[in-house]
Structure 1
């Protein structure tokens, strides 16, 4: 039996003191992998087939990496529609899940309309969720870059329900016992200090006066869903639109991904109703 390689991250992932400029200067390889070692030596990590998919082989030799460029699974629903739960169920089902911290670090690339490092990151695994994959335009680039991939648009019952979940989640994680202010977000240390504030500005185009403006946020949510559905209108087999609270969600996910024995895999993480 081949030895089990383990992932040694080159840095801790809680970049509270790292600036956006430092983040942008690091390659997608450095952000995602660090080193894969076995007994102190770089090795090849092979992962065996699961269901209809085969995880890629990763070969580490200094700073070089090679992977199979198979079709991917992209979770492209907006945050607070069950993206964390989708990531967890894909991992349980045997998919190699992309590093979320590495993806979130590329929010500044997305904001500048630069997708090359985002595409490069997608060569590291099979399935991806959350930022930047949940943001507008990303799905269009990935659809062109990885033909034959599957896209999952997770949704809420309506924009009102989604907006309420966003507000409750931010209130919970910032921990002030109230809706966060611009200063709260600028000082909050997720990924690095001010990351959430910068994210709000880039994604929603808000400022100090329009943070959590209900009209802006709901319009963004609806437009994103409409754009995704329109993009795949002529290829309905490549897109699954699913509300994870629906009773048939697990069955529909399993059918869409070609997986058997899917029942019971769907968790409900980061739940803030």
Structure 2
């Protein structure tokens, strides 16, 4: 595998609904050029095929990246090998329960009526990114059945295992990974120190993530 040594990359590898949009805003404020999120998310197909060469090639076009496919298992290991100077940001919620409730509430607003969790049919019909993208994500990432596409036990186990695996992978190289909770103001300074960037404020900016995602659809 070819190693890319120029322009150190910043990868936010926290799973979806852990504050990644807030991190995106902070990185933009710091002056990092961000990868095109629409094109990045459409690399879900490459991720499912374990075609990490295509994902790595995409990363040559900017400095900072977040969300799919960077928030998924296996991606960060390949990025670590391809970009040895890269730094990684793992975003977390206060608890697994909070993450699951945030995810389902968010998707309910986007793809259902805002009162119920979306069904497999809802995900198949949503035009987000492309027809069936949301359904493909649920099936290929979580592996949940159609009759319980947001299976609480499966999703919570995935979230916990993913975070634990990331931390274990970088445990001997703390200079490569920072764990951030955007609800903790002190973590803003922690992130700035990790990236060797001067703070712009004393807390993370607040983002209306539902409206932000709707604008990007």
Q: TM-score, normalised by structure 2?
A: 0.91
Q: Contact 1:92 / 1:265 at 8 angstroms: preserved in 2?
A: no
2:126 maps to which of 173, 188, 191: 188
Q: Deviation at 1:158?
A: 1.3
Alpha-carbon distance in 1 for matches of 2:127, 2:98: 27
Task: Tell me the equivalent position of 1:225.
Answer: 163
2:70 maps to which of 133, 147, 161: 133
Q: Deviation at 1:270?
A: 4.2
1:83 maps to which of 14, 20, 24: 20
Change over 3 Å in CA distance of 1:68–1:99 after alignment to 2:
farther
Q: CA RMSD in A?
A: 1.6
Alpha-carbon distance in 2 for matches of 1:270, 1:175: 19
Q: Contact 2:18 / 2:93 at 8 angstroms: preserved in 1?
A: yes
Task: Tell me the equivalent position of 2:198.
Answer: 260
Write out the 4+ residue segments of structure 1 that deviate beyond 6 Å after TM superposition. none
Greater RCO between the two (CA within 8 Å, min separation 6)? 2
Query: How many positions carry a matched residue from both structures?
Result: 206
Task: Tell me the equivalent position of 2:186.
Answer: 248
Whether 2:38 is the aligned partner of 1:101: answer yes
Alpha-carbon distance in 1 for matches of 2:80, 2:207: 27
**Structure 1 residue ranges without an equivalent (≥5):** 1-66
Task: Tell me the equivalent position of 2:215.
Answer: none
Task: Tell me the equivalent position of 2:6.
Answer: 69
Q: TM-score, normalised by structure 1?
A: 0.72
Task: Tell me the equivalent position of 1:18.
Answer: none
Task: Tell me the equivalent position of 1:40.
Answer: none
1:69-111 alpha-carbon deviations (Å, 9 max, x no partner): 3210000000000011111110111000111011100101101
Aligned runs of 1:1-273 on 2, under 5 Å? 69-177=6-114, 178-263=116-201, 266-271=204-209
Which of the two has greater strand per residue? 1
Alpha-carbon distance in 2 for matches of 1:155, 1:107: 22
Alpha-carbon distance in 1 for matches of 2:134, 2:174: 34
Change over 3 Å in CA distance of 1:200–1:153 after alignment to 2:
same
**Structure 2 residue ranges without an equivalent (≥5):** 211-217
Structure 2 counterpart SS, 1:144 = helix
Work out which of the two has the higher radius of gyration on C-alpha atoms and give 1 or 2.
1
Which of the two has greater helix per residue? 2
Q: Contact 1:82 / 1:268 at 8 angstroms: preserved in 2?
A: no
Structure 1 counterpart SS, 2:198 = coil
Change over 3 Å in CA distance of 1:68–1:231 after alignment to 2:
closer
Change over 3 Å in CA distance of 1:94–1:265 after alignment to 2:
farther
1:165-185 alpha-carbon deviations (Å, 9 max, x no partner): 000000011142321111111
